[in-house]
Amino acid sequence: MTVQYPERICCLTEETTEVLYALGEEDRIVGISGFTVRPKRARKEKPKVSAFIDADIPKIESLKPDLILAFSDIQADITRELIARGQTVFTFNQRTISEILNTIVLIGSLVGRQADAEVFAQSLAENVERVRLESAKVSRRPKVYFEEWPDPMISGIAWVSELIEIAGGEDIFAEKRSGSLAKDRFISSEDVLERKPDIIIGSWCGKKVKKDQIMARPLWETIPAVQDSCIYEIDSSLILQPGPAALTDGLAELRKIIMLAQREVV
């Protein structure tokens, strides 16, 4: 008996779309997240069926998917309804770099391309290791505060925290990265003041980072990053997408920012 792989896939988050395109399996995709930006042509080629916390269930059903790919507890309500309506849903929950790589391989296996996915994942892992080795040549590791959301203030998720360290920085809230839920990474303004970051990086999902707002927070003028105007933004599509983007362009942006801080001291 021949194995039949899914032929009509809806991707409710962008990283699964990027992986399937990278594997040359884009013809299987019939619906994507409205937040998808990678690859650019996906936005023109595929209908949008979801945001992040909501989805157009009737539209998804009209596309007659035989597999729906989702991500994280935040999409639990969407996936619960889809399953109740008889849909086949696979929800990933990757949080670390290792889990991202494993997820890429798993996505490949779902469409009969596991070997190719393993090669792809290995190439991403090699890129991460290359950056790690380059960063290790510089002894100074600036302290980095990564802000995933401003109100409530949320520090970086696990893969972001790992990438900061790989890029040559020190995540000032590294101890919080093991928390799988956003609420596990809530912090206060006082927490940041106490840890005195050299660099502040904002990446507010779907929202423009307001540097003036950050600088105007009470007493933040005492923070080295504010004093030295070391406040940066990385587009959330690059760094908060738990897939290839974070391990390539997202990591490159982190390295660029951290290198600037290192050169200023040298």
Summarised one tens digit per residue, pLDDT across range 147-165 is 999 999 999 999 999 999 9
Provide the token pair at 196.
């005195």
Average pLDDT on 192-196 reads: 98
Confidence (pLDDT) at 261: 83
For 216, other C-beta atoms within 10 Å of its C-beta total 11
Q: Give the model's confidence band at 264: pLDDT under 50 very low, under 70 low, under 90 confident, else very high.
A: low
Average pLDDT on 63-80 reads: 96
CB 232 within 8 Å of CB 201: yes
Summarised one tens digit per residue, pLDDT across range 35-63 is 999 999 999 999 999 998 999 999 999 99
- What pTM was estimated for this model as a whole? 0.94
Confidence (pLDDT) at 228: 95
Confidence (pLDDT) at 139: 86
Average pLDDT on 214-221 reads: 96
Q: Please determine whether the domains at 9-94 and 128-265 fall in the same fold group of CATH.
A: yes
In this structure, which topology does domain 128-265 adopt according to CATH?
Rossmann fold (3.40.50)
Distance of alpha carbon 20 from alpha carbon 11, whole angstroms = 10
Confidence (pLDDT) at 114: 98
Confidence (pLDDT) at 180: 75
CATH of domain 9-94: 3.40.50.1980
Confidence (pLDDT) at 207: 87
Provide the token pair at 249.
């362009």
Confidence (pLDDT) at 91: 97
Average pLDDT on 138-145 reads: 94
DSSP H helices in 55-180 = 57-62, 76-84, 97-110, 114-135, 158-166
CB 12 within 8 Å of CB 33: yes
Confidence (pLDDT) at 266: 43
CB 157 within 8 Å of CB 148: yes
Give the domain ranges of the chain: 9-94, 128-265
